[in-house]
Amino acid sequence: MARLIKSYIATALFLLLLLSLWEVGVHLFHVPFYILPSPSRILLVFFTRLPLLFSHGAVTLLEVGLGMFLGVTGGITLALIIFYSPFLESVLYPFIITSQMIPVFAIAPLLVIWFGYGLWSKATVAALIVFFPIVVNTVDGLRSVNSETIDLLHSLKANERQIFWYVRLPASLPSIFSGLKLGVTLSVVGATIGEWIGARKGLGFLMIQSNAMLRIDLVFASILTLSLIGLLLFATVRIIELRLLQWRRPRRKPKTSGGNH
Amino acid sequence: MNNERTSSVTVLAATGITKSFASPDKTIPVLSKVSISIPRGDWVTIIGPSGGGKTTLVKILAGILIPDSGKIIIEAKGEDPRRVVAYMPQNDSLLPWRTSLGNAILASQIEGRSRKEGQSEARELFGRFGLAGFENLYPSELSGGMRQRLALIRTFLSHREVLLLDEPLGSLDPLTRTTMQEWLLLVWQELGKSILLVTHDVDEAIFLSDLIYLFSRRPAHVRRHFNIELPRPRARTAQSLMELKTKILDLIHTETLNG
Ligand SMILES: Nc1ncnc2c1ncn2[C@@H]1O[C@H](COP(=O)(O)OP(=O)(O)O)[C@@H](O)[C@H]1O
Ligand SMILES: [Mg+2]
C-alpha cells in the first residue's frame, strides 16, 4: 500500500513538472494562446466554461455509454453463439477476424450518413469499437475452461445452464474485462471522431467549433473534459472488475508448509 | 470404529470394459476387457503404471466417458443410479472464483438443495478436515494439502455412495500424504462410503485397501487382485503388508523387464 501511494505521488510530481515547464515555456517564448495556451489559461477556461463543457460532455458520455452497452451486449451474445454453435462459428468467425482489419474510424463518415447527425451514429461508432475486442476476448475466455472441470460438473449431473453460470461465465470474466478496458478508452475516441464528422452537440463538435474560431484554449478544455470522461469510464469498469474478480487478488499468501502446489 | 467387512454385496462393477481413443493417424487401445468390482462399504484401490488407462476407467465409471464395449453395473439401493457415484478428478478442479465454502457446496447447489443446509453441512466437515476458519478464502490462498482436503470435502458432500478418487494425494509431499491417508481412513470409516482409489503408491494401497487391483500397461487389463483381510488401523510396517508389497513390486518389475 505504501509503495502504491509512493508511486502515485511520483507520477503526480512528474505531471506537475511537465505542466510547469509548459507554463514557463509559453510565457518565456510569448506563444500566443491561439497557438498553444498555457495550462493555467486552460484551467481557467475549463472552470469558467464548465456549464458549456458539461452540457456537451453529457452528450458525448451518453453516446459512449449507449455505444458500450450495445457493443458489450452484442459482443457477448455473438461470442456465445460462436461458442455454442460450431457451424455458425465456421461461418462467422473468419468475417469477424477480417472485419477487425477495417478501421472503424475510417467508416465513421458512412455511419454519420446512415445514422444521421444525432446520438445514434456516434453510439454506433463506439459500439463497433467495443464490439470486436469483446467478441474475441469472450470467445477466448469461454474456451479457456479446463476440460477436467467440465468433467467434474458432468459427474455431478450439472446441466448446460449450470455449467455456464458456475464455470464458463466466471472463467471468461477476466478476458471479457480486458476487452472492456481496451474498448472503453477507444470508444471515447470513436464518439469524438463521429462528432467531428457531423454533430450538433458533444465535445467533438465543440472542439471543431472552437478550433474554427481560434479558441484553442477551449479546444484544450474540451480535450481535458474528454480525458476526464475516459478516466471516469475506465475507473468504473475497473471498480466493477475488482469487485467481480476479487478471487484474482489473493489477500493472503498461501502457506508453504503442508503442501507443494 | 468398526472394521468388520459389512458384506460382499457389489455396489459398483465394471465388466469387460474396452476403450480406445482415436488419434489422427491411429487408434490407441487404452482399456482391454477390464473387470473390477467394488463391494459395498469397502476400500478398493487400483495400482498401475502411469499412462496405463486408470483415469480413463474412472471416467467411464463416473459416467463421463462411454466405453466401446463392456458394462457398468450399479447396484443402487433405491436411489437414482446416476447419483450413486462421485468423482474427484486427478487435479483438484477447484473453482478459483469460489471461496472454499462455495466450492464445498457445489454439488448441493447443482442439485438445487437449500443453500443454508448445504453450508451448515459443509461447515461441519470443514471442522473435521482441519479447515475450520478457511471457509471464506479462495483456493489460491490455500496450501496444496488444504486444497486436496477441500476437494475431498466437495466429493463427500455430493452424498454419493461410491467415491472415485483419482490420485487424490498425488501432489502432496510424503509427510502430508501419510497424514492425509489416516484422515481419509477415519472419514471413510465414519461416513461408511465405498471408495475406489487410484494411486501409483504401493505403500498407500496396502495401508488403505480391502482389495487391490494391479493393472497392466496400456492397454490396461487386470493382472492380479489382492484381498487384504488385515484389520485397521494397520501398522505400516506389518510383516504381512511388507510381504504383499514385495510381491506387488516384483510383479510390476517383471512387467517392466519383459517389455
Ligand atoms: N481424451 C483422450 N484422447 C486421446 N487419448 C487419450 C484421452 N484420454 C487419455 N488418453 C490416452 O490414454 C492413455 C491412458 O490415459 P489415462 O487413463 O489418463 O492413464 P493413467 O490415468 O493410468 O495415467 C494415455 O496414453 C493417454 O494419452
Ligand atoms: Mg491418471
Q: For the segment A94-146, what is each residue's pLDDT rounded down to a tens digit?
A: 888 888 788 888 888 898 899 988 899 999 999 998 998 899 999 999 999 98
* Structural domain ending residue among the three candidates B137, B159, B181: B159
B147, A245: Cβ pair inside 8 Å? no
Q: Determine, yes or no, domain membership for B34.
A: yes
Q: Determine, yes or no, domain membership for B239.
A: yes
Facing residue for B89 by CB, picked from A152, A173, A258? A152
**pLDDT at residue B197 in the model:** 97
Residue nearest to atom 9 of ligand 1 (CA): B56
Given a cut of 80, whether residue A253 has pLDDT beyond it is no
CA–centroid distance, A41 to ligand 2, in Å, is: 70
Q: Does B107 touch chain A (CB under 8 A)?
A: yes
CA A157 to chain B, closest CA, distance in angstroms equals: 8
Q: If residue A212 lies in a helix (H) or strand (E), which one and from where to where? A: helix A203-212
Q: Which three cell numbers stand for residue B93?
A: 478442479
Distance, CA of A197 to chain centre: 21
**pLDDT at residue B93 in the model:** 92
Which residues form the domain of B171?
10-84+161-258
Residues 6+ apart with CB under 8 A from A142: A79, A80, A83, A168, A171, A172
Q: What is the mean pLDDT of chain A?
A: 90
Nearest CA in chain B to A259: B144
B144, A252: Cβ pair inside 8 Å? no
Count of structural domains, chain B: 2
Q: What architecture is domain A56-245?
A: Orthogonal Bundle (1.10)
Q: Does A156 touch chain B (CB under 8 A)?
A: yes
A148, B89: Cβ pair inside 8 Å? yes
Beta strands in B187-227 (DSSP E): 194-199, 211-215, 222-227
> Maximum CA pair distance of chain A?
76
Query: Which of B58, B140, B171 to probe by mutation at the A interface, max A CB count within 10 Å?
Result: B140
**pLDDT at residue A250 in the model:** 64
Q: If residue A69 lies in a helix (H) or strand (E), which one and from where to where? A: helix A50-84
- Cβ of B97 less than 6 Å from ligand 1: no
Where along chain A do its domains lie?
56-245
Residues B98 and B71 in one domain: no
Q: Number of Cβ pairs closer than 8 Å across A and B?
A: 95
Q: Determine, yes or no, domain membership for B3.
A: no
Given a cut of 80, whether residue A85 has pLDDT beyond it is yes
| DSSP line for B97-122 | TS-HHHHHTHHHHHTT--HHHHHHHH
**pLDDT at residue B3 in the model:** 45
B142, A254: Cβ pair inside 8 Å? yes
Cα-based distances in Å from B244 to A147, B5, B50, B129: 37, 20, 21, 31
How would residue A258 be classed by pLDDT, with cut points 50, 70 and 90?
very low
CA–centroid distance, B240 to ligand 1, in Å, is: 34
Given a cut of 70, whether residue A252 has pLDDT beyond it is no
| List of chain B residues whose C-beta atoms are within 8 Å of the C-beta of residue A149 | 93, 95
Residue nearest to atom 7 of ligand 1 (CA): B21
pLDDT in tens, A206-249: 999 999 999 999 999 999 999 999 999 999 999 999 999 988 87
Residues B152 and B183 in one domain: no
Q: Is the peptide bond between B233 and the residue preceding it cis, with omega within 30 degrees of 0?
A: yes
Residue nearest to atom 14 of ligand 1 (CA): B53
Residues B149 and B168 in one domain: no
Residue nearest to atom 27 of ligand 1 (CA): B51
**Rounded CA Rg of chain A:** 23
Q: Determine, yes or no, domain membership for B23.
A: yes
CB B42 within 8 A of CB B213: no
| List of chain A residues whose C-beta atoms are within 8 Å of the C-beta of residue B57 | none
* Structural domain ending residue among the three candidates B113, B130, B159: B159
- Cβ of B50 less than 6 Å from ligand 1: yes
pLDDT in tens, A9-43: 999 999 999 999 999 999 999 999 889 999 999 99
Q: Determine, yes or no, domain membership for B4.
A: no
Q: Determine, yes or no, domain membership for B1.
A: no
* Test site for ligand 1: of B21, B164, B214, B216, most ligand atoms within 8 A of the Cβ: B21
How would residue A259 be classed by pLDDT, with cut points 50, 70 and 90?
very low
- Ligand 1 atom closest to the Cα of residue B56 is 17
Q: Does B83 touch chain A (CB under 8 A)?
A: yes
Q: Which residues partner with B225 through β-bridges?
A: B213
In whole angstroms, give the CA distance from residue A60 to residue B165. 58
* Structural domain ending residue among the three candidates B102, B135, B159: B159
| List of chain A residues whose C-beta atoms are within 8 Å of the C-beta of residue B90 | 148
CB burial class (10 A; 0-12, 13-18, 19+) of residue A54? exposed
Residues B169 and B71 in one domain: yes
User: Which residues of chain A from 218 to 237 reach within 8 Å of chain B, CB to CB?
Assistant: none
Residues B103 and B229 in one domain: no
**Rounded CA Rg of chain B:** 18
Facing residue for A156 by CB, picked from B98, B107, B173? B107
Nearest-ligand number for the alpha carbon of B167: 2
Cα-based distances in Å from A173 to A140, A178, A236: 10, 9, 16
Q: pLDDT in tens for each of the 259 residues of chain B?
A: 444 455 578 999 999 999 999 988 899 999 999 999 999 999 999 999 989 999 999 999 999 999 999 999 998 777 777 889 999 998 889 999 999 999 999 999 999 988 899 999 999 889 888 899 999 999 999 988 889 889 999 999 998 999 999 999 887 888 888 988 998 898 898 888 999 999 989 999 999 999 999 999 989 999 999 999 988 889 888 898 899 999 999 998 888 777 5
Q: Determine, yes or no, domain membership for B228.
A: yes
How would residue A6 be classed by pLDDT, with cut points 50, 70 and 90?
confident
Q: Does B138 touch chain A (CB under 8 A)?
A: yes
